[in-house]
Amino acid sequence: MTADIITFNAGSSSVRFAVFGTAPDAKPWRVMSGRAPLRDGSYLLEVADDTGLPIDLGQHEYLSIDALVAGIFDLVEEGLGNINIVATGHRVIHGGQRHTAPSLIAGDVLAGLEQLSPIAPMDQARTLAPIHEIARRFPTLPQIACFDTVFHQSRPLVAKRFALPTSFEDAGIIRYCFHGLSYESIAQNLAENAPEILAGRVVFAHLGSTASLCAMRDGLSIDTSMAFSALDGIPMATRPGALDPGVVLYLLEHMGMGVKDVQDLLYHRSGLLGVSGISEDVQVLLKSRQPPAAAAIELFCYRIAREIGALSASLGGLDALVFTAGIGENQPEIRRMICERCAWLGVRLNAAANAASDPSISSGASLVPVLVIPTDEELAIAGHTSAVLAAAS
């Protein structure tokens, strides 16, 4: 009988899960996967088999994350029959300074992760919620935390520091950076399929409802757009990205806003939604003829192109550009607008390849290969979970 792992990836707009079979000295293989987008306060579960084809489950709607997790276990057991679940693996957005590798959730680990919630108030609790429910339902089932911050441990110290008194650095106020599991999965893809590109200076653009960019050299993280929290960097669906701290001070001191008001503004009412006043969804904005929609898209692409330039400076040049995640993989118009602003770096697109979202979308005249690579955070989680279990046995 195989040893099976269920992975959970709880994000800001959905929960993704997957079932992987594992065996010694073998890469985990996907058996089933699913996604539950959060719509109008409910999770709507969609499940696919190992080929990616949808499985007709009828209507499955869950009002809470706890009910969703319970439903996923029930569906997995009903759908796969001879399943042998030996562990669950979880994407956890923040590992702080304590966790520099994936960790078995035991002892005071979960309590320590809860203490990091103030740094990522809208994200850490979401990624920990499935862990709490599984511990309640299956208290003896091993659970492994896989951290978005671990991949960025390779950055030089200068890329981790703020220009603050060192006492704040000692207290843990540093640039942690996020989306590490996504970047790790893409780096692994390149290591297997295009190692010559991974060996160079590459900027990766993870563009989804939350978004960031990462500069890698020789497959290692050198610098990123995100920093202490998942608010920094480029604009996102409802988050502003980089913001002058003076704006926050002004909001607090002169516009009558409290801390909770500012938090709500920065996490829920800014970004594409805030600028457009229409939607946080790029597809909706691209179809709209309203000037604010176009303004939001223009700012989004402008800031991304600006960040690509900054990260190219961190790398000392640019040898390749990679797009990934929901927007990066599926929105040719966004890629076109970004790449046109990066022409000074030698970027040129093949219009037909870009329109088709081909794996390679750069033209023969481009000095920089431009690629579209699907991210697979669940596979990265499964690999780490299997490795932690093997090391513990």
DSSP 30: E
Say which of 40, 50, 66, 148 is annotated catalytic: 148
d(CA 64, CA 201): 43
Q: What are phi and psi of 103, to 5 degrees?
A: -135, 140
Give yes or no: 66 in active site: no
d(CA 102, CA 98): 11
CA 43 from centroid of its chain's CA atoms: 19
Residues 345 and 308 sit within 8 Å (Cβ to Cβ): yes
CA dihedral sign, ordered 164, 170, 171, 174: positive
d(CA 272, CA 204): 21
d(CA 284, CA 293): 9
> Which DSSP string corresponds to 83-119?
--EEEEEEEES--TTT-SS-EE--TTHHHHHHTTTTT
d(CA 3, CA 82): 11
359, amino acid identity = P
Tokens standing for residue 17:
């899960």
DSSP 153: G
d(CA 30, CA 21): 6
Alpha-carbon torsion, ordered 321, 326, 329, 333, to 10 deg: -90
Active site residues: 148
